[in-house]
Amino acid sequence: KEDAFKTFTEERINPLKDSDVLIAVVGVQEWGDKLNEDLREKFNVKADDFPVYKLFKKGSSTPIDYKGDVTADGLSRFMKTELSMYIGLPGCLEEFDRLANGFLAVDDNEKKDRLSKAETGVSGLAEKDEITSGQAYVAIMKKIIERGTNYPQTEAVRLQKLVDSKISDEKKAQMRTKMNILPSFT
């Protein structure tokens, strides 16, 4: 877990230019001076729960608890979703993320326009992995148009169940890429 957190902060957050994100580690000591015991009590953290990850949004003293798998991708998806900030997760393409941003809120004509731009964008990609990702954005857009704005949430739950099941590592990697793309749709 500590390695995943370190990877998340070093590879995903530190490279962000002009970021308003502050990452802090608060150690709690259960013996001796019992450092930060007051914080542990204030936020109702039990020693058995360590490590605990909490997000404090600017202007709020109420944290949002992270309850997912402690992986660099999981933490990145959490931050991307909760803060609506751009974090390039594995498999995400910034140009396509811009098309996905706000997709759920726009009218049907704008959705179709963005879908058309995404389809055109895929034809301009050269790398196999980028083409696969671009096609995933297009497929998600089509599903949202067909099934409605709840699709990203229901699909994320479905994909997590698949990743947790007994499928090949290759299929798990494909599912994780799609899971990384889904939070781009807001």
The pLDDT score that the predictor gives to residue 17 is 56
pTM of the model: 0.65
- 30: which DSSP letter? S
The pLDDT score that the predictor gives to residue 182 is 94
186 residues of the chain, pLDDT tens digit each: 678 888 877 777 765 655 667 677 777 777 767 778 888 888 888 878 778 888 888 888 888 888 888 888 888 888 878 887 777 788 999 999 999 999 999 999 999 999 999 999 999 999 999 999 999 999 999 999 999 999 999 999 999 999 999 999 999 988 989 999 998 998
Beta strand extents in 16-81 (DSSP E only): 54-55, 64-65
The pLDDT score that the predictor gives to residue 14 is 60
- What are the tokens at 62? 């109420």
The pLDDT score that the predictor gives to residue 157 is 93
Asked if 73 and 176 touch (Cβ cutoff 8 Å), the reply is yes
Tell me the C-alpha distance between 1 and 72, whole Å: 9
The pLDDT score that the predictor gives to residue 116 is 97
Contacts of 60 (CB under 8 A, 6+ apart): none
Asked if 91 and 129 touch (Cβ cutoff 8 Å), the reply is yes
- Candidates 85, 97, 64, 98; CA nearest to 21 is 85
The pLDDT score that the predictor gives to residue 8 is 79
CB neighbourhood size of 140 (10 A): 23
